[in-house]
Copies of this chain bind each other. A is one copy, B any other.
Amino acid sequence: MTLAIDPNHVAERYLAAWNETDAAARKALIEAGWTDRASYVDPLMAAEGREAIDGLIAAVHQRFPGHRFSLLGAADGHGDRVRFSWALGADGAEPIVGGTDFAMVEPDGRLASVTGFLDKVPG
């Protein structure tokens, strides 16, 4: 199958939205990166639609102020499927949470659904 989308671009744009603390800028990133019916689910949270996804990201910022998500290694993908691993940590500190996300992507590169799994959780 031809890969029309760039998995690393998808992952980087996704993590940029997760890292954006400015509400208006984050809203713009979510508009650009997700379909309007997009869904997100992980072991702790679930959201459907851009507004709910935005609220979920804001809640994570409240819980982990000053922390940032970063891509671990390269994203991988084929067809409309992408996977990538990430870490969440304070600047310069050992990451406290890590996970692997699996995404289904529209032909235009926007996220239709993301499923998160946790690889490392706070001890």
The answer to whether B41 and A76 touch across the interface, beta carbons within 8 angstroms, is no
Interface presence of A93 (CB below 8 A): no
Interface of A is mostly: strand
Binds B, one of A18-26, A47-55, A78-86: A78-86
- Please list 19 pairs of residues, one from A and one from B, whose beta carbons are closer than 8 Å in the complex, sorted by A's number: A1-B41, A1-B43, A1-B46, A41-B78, A41-B79, A41-B81, A42-B78, A43-B78, A46-B79, A76-B117, A78-B117, A81-B102, A81-B115, A81-B117, A83-B100, A83-B102, A83-B117, A102-B102, A102-B115
How many chain A residues touch B (CB < 8 A): the figure is 14
Closest Cβ of chain B to A50, distance in Å, is 21
List CB contacts (< 8 Å) of A26-49 with chain B. 41-43, 46
Q: What is the bound-complex CA distance between A117 and B83, given in angstroms?
A: 8
Q: What is the bound-complex CA distance between A83 and B83, given in angstroms?
A: 12
Q: Which B residues lie within 8 Å of A100 (CB)?
A: 83
Q: What is the bound-complex CA distance between A106 and B46, given in angstroms?
A: 18
Q: What is the bound-complex CA distance between A102 and B83, given in angstroms?
A: 10
Q: What is the bound-complex CA distance between A81 and B1, given in angstroms?
A: 24
